[in-house]
Amino acid sequence: MPGGKVTVDGHVVEINDARNILEVVRRAGVKLPTFCYHSELSVYGACRMCMVEVEGRGLVASCSTPPEDGMVIHTNTSRTRRLRRMIIELLLANHERECTSCERSGSCKLQQLARQMGVTKVRFGQRDKKLPVDDSSPAIVKNPNKCILCGDCVRMCKEIQGLGVWDFAFRGSKTQVTTAFNKPLAEVACVNCGQCVAVCPTGALTVKSEVDRVWEAIQDPHKVVVVQVAPAVRVAIGEEFGLLPGEKATGQLVAALKKLGFDRVFDTLFAADMTTTEEALELLDRLAKGGRLPLFTSCCPAWVKYAEQFHADLLGNLSTCRSPQQMFGSLVKKFYAREIGKSPRDVVCVSVMPCTAKKFEARRPEFTTDGVPDVDFVLTTVELAQMIKEAGIVFNELEPEVFDSPLGMGSGAAVIYGASGGVMESVVRFVSAHLTGSDVGRVDFCPVRGMQGIKEAELEIGGQTLKMAVVHGLANAEKLIGRIKSGDAFYHAVEVMACPGGCLGGGGQPYPNSTAARLGRMKGLYALDRAEQLHRPQDNIFVSRAYEKWFGGPANANTHHSLHTHYYPRRRISGKPVEVTEHREGRPVEVSVCVGTNCYLKGSYDILNRFIELARQMGLTDYVQLRGTFCLECCDRGVSIKVNDEIITGVTLDNAEEVFKNQISAKVRPHLLV
């Protein structure tokens, strides 16, 4: 990077390793306004809010202009101020200005900059047409009328998550940020991670709120409402009340939940200790019996959905363990409800999570007891803060309280679940003691800690070397999976978290959800871990008692029914079948070839063309109706076809002719004899 010095508003500043003028200006103590600039994403340079005047060059965008030795930069001229105000006015003219009722009121960047720039009047009219709001997703609401086209969500989804759910469409004044073919968010490949929400500067993308439904449950005298709190929440909730990221607020958080009216306040750490136990024993079982490796963690619902959509062939590698949220919900509905003399329907389980994808996970049909969801509602950290403020509770003045028993105790191994590498370190702590059979003391497995996107580590335990990897961000996960599938890398265990930094960077955390904030929260979690008296899951006597009382011990048939699950290939595209041959009534054999993403990549389009050719060669075009369909839900078993009502998997171009003769032509022959 260039060296040298520049002059910013009369002050000389070293360039050092600054990538652009914006970074140099901020080092000089000037906070230039930006919308489209995000330090973790590529430079876009569209909003022009960061324009500065450079002597000899005139106006330039500071975010996309590299600094050069000797530059003289002016950030606060009449020209730049006039330009910034004009940009704010133009954005407001195209922006739905119902600010008082907006979910982001008070934390909206457009609102803040309008105040900062002194914009009190808008000289232009309002937008003449309102676009429909998309609330089809269980986790995210899109209001295109509040979008300022900054592109942060587009770049976040494409560059950090590798999905590309969002992109720009149309031109000129009709430009929108939308999904492919403008489909509802629930019908595209979104994994509900909420990272687009985390970077959206306005209310265009927000978390789908369940606050009102939780209030309704609390105020229902016939319901027992229990709440569980995830580890990453306790180091972030304080940010909504003026505390620094990572500052401990667990006691005040518990006190606030009790004042809100929850009947029992429990800790997700309890279930996290169970998750560690079950997952560690599952890994050891696979190692002993030659099971499928690597074992991928399954705590992150966004990662699980990603695997279901894009890597169905790896679903057998995912741990069958439910996430701590869903283990806790199962314990509450199947066992705790019975102990307090209630049916699952009369006990409402609420989760407070840093994650928007947990809202989707709670709705999965496999996570129910007697037809009732194990977790009824999921609140994000920000939603809980909203409830506390709505109730008029002065958070910072609350006297700390403790979680309720018996589901309120957790170890330090469970606390660090909220940070990238935490699940892997927890498993290491369990396994190191389990294999040696002795008290090995405190184990801190530092190689898996930190904000690096992909981390690798090896560990000698019980005479064998375990190779492990930890990854956060789905684009990084895709890179790692590519290396595993190509044979360039091998691991026994892999931890995947969708959000940068792990759960502490979840889409439901306070704004701004920046690198600095995530580092503060991570530091806070490890500080809590150091302060815990219990270090490993085995040390948690309440978990040990629950295992013996409810399951007869860990990792058996009883725990598998209540604490484990299975995952399934998930369609990426929905829609009507595409007729390939001319539609005619009375054709006795209907053949549908899956052309969804997984099958298409395995050659289904060529197979479909081969079937058309074979039907023509064998004179069967009047008897076979060929079509392409978007998913037959067998993505992990090769290319799938459906012949009348029978699904056939594992079709390849090499065996296509044999399949056609034995499975399709054979069904036509009886009709030829008539």
Pair 504, 419: CB distance under 8 Å: yes
> What is the rounded end-to-end Cα distance, in angstroms, of the chain?
81
The answer to whether 5-76 and 578-673 have equal CATH topology is no
Whole-angstrom distance, CA of residue 535 vs CA of residue 616: 70
- pLDDT at residue 90 in the model: 87
- pLDDT at residue 584 in the model: 54
Q: How confident is the model at residue 122 (pLDDT cuts 50, 70, 90)?
A: confident
pLDDT for 368 beyond 80: yes
Helix runs in 200-323, H state only = 211-218, 250-260, 268-289, 301-310
Whole-angstrom distance, CA of residue 562 vs CA of residue 331: 8
Q: Which residue has the tokens 């009722």?
A: 101
Joined together, the tokens standing for residue 321 give 């363990």
Whole-angstrom distance, CA of residue 639 vs CA of residue 316: 18
- The helix (H) or strand (E) run that includes residue 264 is strand 264-267
Q: Which residue has the tokens 């190689």?
A: 447
Instruction: Report whether CATH 3.30.70.20 matches the domain 89-207.
Output: yes
* Least confident stretch, 150-154, 237-241, 317-321, 459-463: 459-463
How many residues would you count in the chain? Answer: 674
Residue of 279, 308, 383, 425 marked catalytic: 279
Q: What is the β-pairing status of strands 347-353 and 368-369?
A: unpaired
**Could you read off the pLDDT of 475-528 as tens digits, one per residue?**
999 999 999 999 999 999 999 999 999 999 999 999 888 899 999 999 999 999
Torsions phi, psi of 41, nearest 5? Answer: -120, 170
Whole-angstrom distance, CA of residue 176 vs CA of residue 168: 6
Is 358 one of the catalytic residues? yes
270 by DSSP, 3-state: which? helix
**Could you read off the pLDDT of 300-314 as tens digits, one per residue?**
999 999 999 999 889
- In 3D space, the residue among 136, 151, 149 whose CA is nearest the CA of residue 182 turns out to be 136
Is 366 one of the catalytic residues? yes
Is 319 one of the catalytic residues? yes
Query: How many C-alpha atoms does 620 have within 13 Å on its Cβ side?
Result: 25
Is 361 one of the catalytic residues? yes
Residue of 210, 239, 361, 425 marked catalytic: 361
- pLDDT at residue 1 in the model: 43
User: 127 or 118: whose pLDDT is higher?
Assistant: 118
Give domain 211-259+267-563's CATH architecture.
Answer: 3-Layer(aba) Sandwich (3.40)
Cis check for the bond before 512: say yes or no (omega within 30 of 0): yes
Residue of 193, 349, 503, 599 marked catalytic: 503
Whole-angstrom distance, CA of residue 138 vs CA of residue 235: 25
Q: How many CB atoms lie within 10 A of CB 617?
A: 11
pLDDT for 674 beyond 60: no
- pLDDT at residue 645 in the model: 81
- pLDDT at residue 633 in the model: 74
Is 299 one of the catalytic residues? yes
Is 478 one of the catalytic residues? no
User: 354 or 370: whose pLDDT is higher?
Assistant: 354
Please state the rounded mean pLDDT for residues 39-67. Answer: 89
Q: What is the β-pairing status of strands 646-651 and 58-61?
A: unpaired
Choices 3.40.50.150, 1.25.40.10, 3.10.20.740, 3.40.470.10: CATH for 5-76: 3.10.20.740
- pLDDT at residue 101 in the model: 83
Type of residue numbered 134: D
165 by DSSP, 3-state: which? coil
Q: How confident is the model at residue 265 (pLDDT cuts 50, 70, 90)?
A: very high
What's the CA angle centered on 498, arms 496 and 504, to 5 degrees?
100
Locate the domains of the chain by residue range: 5-76, 89-207, 211-259+267-563, 578-673
> Which percentage of the chain shows pLDDT scores above 70?
96
- In 3D space, the residue among 10, 35, 5 whose CA is nearest the CA of residue 21 turns out to be 5
Is 397 one of the catalytic residues? no
Pair 537, 279: CB distance under 8 Å: no
60 by DSSP, 3-state: which? strand
Whole-angstrom distance, CA of residue 650 vs CA of residue 530: 52
Please state the rounded mean pLDDT for residues 463-474. Answer: 92
Cis check for the bond before 294: say yes or no (omega within 30 of 0): yes
Joined together, the tokens standing for residue 599 give 């099958």
Residue of 147, 150, 299, 594 marked catalytic: 299
**What residues have CB less than 8 Å from 27, skipping those under 6 apart?**
13, 14, 18
Residue of 96, 278, 282, 495 marked catalytic: 282
CA dihedral sign of residues 359, 365, 367, 369: positive
- In 3D space, the residue among 650, 645, 658, 652 whose CA is nearest the CA of residue 614 turns out to be 658
Distances (CA, A) of 321 to 8, 317, 350, 560, 622: 56, 12, 20, 8, 51
Whole-angstrom distance, CA of residue 560 vs CA of residue 551: 10
CATH of domain 578-673: 3.40.30.10
- In 3D space, the residue among 229, 231, 252, 241 whose CA is nearest the CA of residue 400 turns out to be 252
Whole-angstrom distance, CA of residue 549 vs CA of residue 531: 29
- pLDDT at residue 671 in the model: 63
DSSP 300-355: -HHHHHHHHHH-GGGGGGB--BPPHHHHHHHHIIIIIHHHTT--GGGEEEEEEES-
pLDDT for 595 beyond 60: yes
Is 279 one of the catalytic residues? yes
Average pLDDT, the chain: 90
Residue of 358, 359, 602, 642 marked catalytic: 358
User: 267 or 436: whose pLDDT is higher?
Assistant: 267
Residue of 216, 339, 366, 548 marked catalytic: 366
